[in-house]
Amino acid sequence: MKIKAINGFKDILLDTVLRWQHIEQTARDIFERFGMREIRTPILEKTELFSRSIGEATDIVEKEMYTFTDKGITMRPEATASLLRAFIEHGLHVLQPVQRLYTIGPMFRHERPQKGRLRQFHQMDVEIIGAHEPQVDAELMAMGQMLMDALGLSVSLEINSLGCPDCRPGFRAHLIKYLEERKEDLCPDCRRRLTINPLRTLDCKNRGCKALVQDAPSILDALCNNCSEHFAAVEQTLNLLGVSYKKNRFMVRGLDYYTRTTFEFITDELGAQAAVGAGGRYDGLIRQLGGPDLPGIGFALGIERLVLLMTQQDNCKALKPSTDLFIAALGKEAAEYAAVLVHKCREHNLKTAMDYSGRSLKAQMKQAARTDSRYTLIIGDRELSEKKAILRNMQTQEQVTFPLGESIEKQAKKLPIIIQS
Ligand code: ATP
Ligand code: MG
């Protein structure tokens, strides 16, 4: 019996890996332009870290975590909690009052696998810790938008504010009252969550709930002065930076730690999996986790969804494997010579390939085409004795004679100059 991968856990193969690498490299370049530094944290953490930060009454903690129940440890379902744990544990704020951090890696949630929704998925997560200014919120969103643009992806940015411990409880009570009066029309999930997590109702996917919340009180009207000034300044900065956005008063995040600004990068091209990235402020969380009283804001992008979108929006044509040079050798002596030349060319930064099977020239040229080689160098025993080979440009089909008189070392230096010019 063949053993297959577990449902919801996926291999990332060949050409798809090129997309992943492109996304990660582009992200690293852009993150670093914004002063972000990478940290890497373990996949396993104490379960308590997530229940205390994400919140007991969230879907993630209630039913999606992979927990080793006998050991009290959990495979991380998201990155912020781990990152903050490391930040606090190593006192990183002492090194720098404002820390800009990012991490890239796998996360685990026990969800129903479907397009863009896996049990092991991957996030690129960024956090700015120690800054409360609204400009930072806007800067982070602008960075996300810059990355989307660099990847050629068209997505839209939606923003909301979830208020703070001063104004949210009032809004929450107001909302509960509104929902209580219409309890019969809520879906069973929302009815159950009514008193523990009523805000979730605002972004419930159920049609009845959706219709019902259209006339619900708006959190944006309920913000305290400080939160409302903060939100206005975020909007103003986004406008200054030329970042387009839409306000969405129904946006609630599925993690309890958010305060004030929350945002999502969304698409309508991935069915129900609309968010490619999401995040927000979590002032108060670091203290709650036993750290200093510092504000923070961050967001995470789902790499699988970015890859899907890239493939769907047809942005990966340039991402193909290629070889600079294929050396086709005919005859035993030529093959020996070629093996050394291939090795030397690789030392000189050329992606070089050859075929050791001694097949016909035609078969080797086919192989060269299959590796998408830009050039082929053809060396036969006769060419070797006459100290010349044929260098063919595979695109233009042009051929020139390449002298083999000098040492292999010298030729290996010469080839990149011809090929890369
Ligand atoms: P969703 O609305 O899809 O459930 P979420 O609100 O649970 O997303 P976050 O916890 O904010 O998502 O994670 C940030 C990003 O990580 C999401 O925008 C998405 O791109 C990605 N993501 C989350 N869960 C999954 C998953 N199970 N499979 C693939 N990607 C995911
Ligand atoms: Mg989710």
Domain that holds residue 370: 323-419
CA of 278 to the centre of ligand 1 (A): 8
Q: Is 172 a domain residue? A: no
Instruction: Pick from 304, 308, 309 the residue to mutate for probing ligand 1's pocket: most ligand atoms within 8 Å of its CB.
Output: 304
The yes-or-no verdict on residue 315 having pLDDT over 90 is: no
pLDDT grade for 85, boundaries at 50, 70 and 90: very high
Same domain for 346 and 301 = no
In this structure, the answer to whether residues 150 and 288 fall within a common structural domain is yes
- Boundary (domain end) residue, out of 283, 312, 341: 312
Do 373 and 268 belong to one domain? no
The answer to whether position 176 is within a domain reads no
Could you report the per-residue pLDDT of 323-346, keeping only the tens digit for each?
Answer: 999 999 999 999 999 999 999 999
Ligand found nearest the CA of 302:
1
Is there a single domain that holds both residue 284 and residue 407?
no
- The whole-number pLDDT of residue 51 equals 95
Ligand 1 atom 4, closest CA: 273
Cβ-based burial of 375 (10 A; exposed 0-12, middle 13-18, buried ≥19): buried
If you count them, how many residues does the chain have? 421
What is the pTM for the complete model shown? 0.94
Instruction: Judge if 268 and 374 occupy the same domain.
Output: no
Distance between CA 319 and CA 316 in Å, rounded?
Answer: 5
Summarize pLDDT for 145-171 with one digit per residue, the tens: 999 999 999 999 999 999 999 999 999
Looking up residue 400, the CATH number of its domain turns out to be 3.40.50.800
Both 346 and 230 in one domain: the answer is no
Same domain, 257 and 122: yes
Mean pLDDT confidence for 120-144: 98
Pocket test for ligand 1, best of 104, 111, 123, 297 (most atoms within 8 A of CB): 123
In angstroms, how far is CA 195 from the centroid of its own chain? Answer: 34
* pLDDT band (50, 70, 90) for residue 195: confident
CA atoms within 13 A on the CB side of 77: 27
In the chain, what percentage of residues exceed pLDDT 70? 100
Q: Which of 269, 288, 312 is the last residue of a domain?
A: 312
Q: What is the per-residue pLDDT across 90-107, written as a single tens digit (0 to 9) for each?
A: 999 999 999 999 999 999
Mean pLDDT along residues 211-233: 96
Same domain as 361, residue 292: no
Residue 236 falls within a domain, yes or no?
yes
Cα gap 62→281, rounded to integer Å: 22
Are both 302 and 374 inside the same structural domain?
no
Give me the chain's average pLDDT, please: 94
Q: Is residue 260 assigned to a domain?
A: yes
24 and 141 both lie in a single domain: yes
Residues 6+ apart with CB under 8 A from 281: 137, 258, 259, 260, 261, 262, 295, 296, 297
| Ligand 1, atom 6, residue with closest C-alpha | 254
- Domain count of the fold of the chain: 2
Predicted confidence at residue 282, as pLDDT, reads 97
Q: What's the pLDDT at 316?
A: 76
Residue owning tokens 């595979």:
394
In the prediction, which pLDDT does 116 show? 96
Alpha carbons 50 and 41: distance in angstroms, whole number: 14
Which of 279, 312, 345 finishes a domain? 312
Q: What confidence category does residue 313 fall into, taking pLDDT thresholds of 50, 70 and 90?
A: confident
Same-domain check for residues 257 and 304: yes
Q: What is the pLDDT of residue 196?
A: 85
Q: Which amino acid is at 130?
A: G
Q: Are residues 375 and 292 in the same domain?
A: no
Of the candidate ranges 125-129, 240-244, 371-375, the one whose mean pLDDT is the lowest: 371-375
Q: Does residue 187 form part of some domain?
A: no
Nearest CA to ligand 1 atom 12: 278
CATH number, domain of 75, equals 3.30.930.10
User: Tell me, what's the pLDDT at 314?
Assistant: 78
